[in-house]
Amino acid sequence: MRWFPPSLWAVSFRDPPKVLIGVQMNYPHPIIAREGWPFLAGSLLLAVLASSTGFWSMPFWLIFLFCLQFFRDPARVIAGGPKSIVAPADGRVVVVEEADDPYLNRRALKVSVFMNVFNVHSNRSPVACTVQQKWYNPGHFFNASLDKASLENERCAMHLKTMDGRDVTCVQIAGLVARRILNYVEAGAGLTAGQRYGFIRFGSRVDLYLPLDTKVNVVIGEKVSASSTVLAELA
């Protein structure tokens, strides 16, 4: 395993996983996300039952293969340093702008990452932090790449406070196909940068609201990888 100097080691909260900046060890999740096991079992069963029909079983096998690639959940390198904001999801940057943070009632820098159905859909903490508050809002299911999805779609938001007291808002947003947001943390929980905290099924988006003095490192249209791409640096 590649060695990294102590200056690049991650700083963590209570009972952290063994993490180095630049490499993640002991990723405690299967390579195929548990969230997808019922879909995989169902599609595999249908494919096997349809096999007797010969060619007509092909669509069922394609559905099974699609589910298999959709629910993959590989361990990832954790990039950056203590002030880095890492990508909370795989996908494409669709928004970089100054905007109102509707959860903390402030002006902020908004960075949004859109996940299509071919991206990994596990969501990871953008910073080492403590969860201050969580909000869930039921809503519509417009295409998650549209601006109105931030305020009108089903969404789950978290107020995260970094170790040096900076505020970050992280919002999971359901998309056109997605019908369920999964979020496994509650207020008071500690997260390390890049730690998996949730999942959104079948196409979605994650919005980040960052302090105005944050330096953004990405542009609209850029492809990013969860925890492996540094989106921005806190001042």
Alpha-helical (H) ranges within the chain are: 37-50, 58-70, 149-152
Please tell me which residue in 43, 125, 204, 228 is annotated as part of the active site. Answer: 204
Nearest to 108 by CA among 191, 156, 175, 170: 170
Residue 11 DSSP one-character state: P
Nearest to 111 by CA among 223, 229, 210: 210
Contact 103, 209 (CB under 8 A): yes
Contact 149, 173 (CB under 8 A): yes
Contact 155, 172 (CB under 8 A): yes
Rounded Cα distance between 65 and 131, Å, is 36
Instruction: Give me the sheet containing 196-200, strands edge to edge.
Output: 122-124, 196-200, 181-183
Which residues, 6 or more positions from 165, have their beta carbon under 8 angstroms from its beta carbon? Answer: none
Look up 122 and say whether it is catalytic.
no
Contact 197, 185 (CB under 8 A): yes
Which amino acids are annotated catalytic? 204
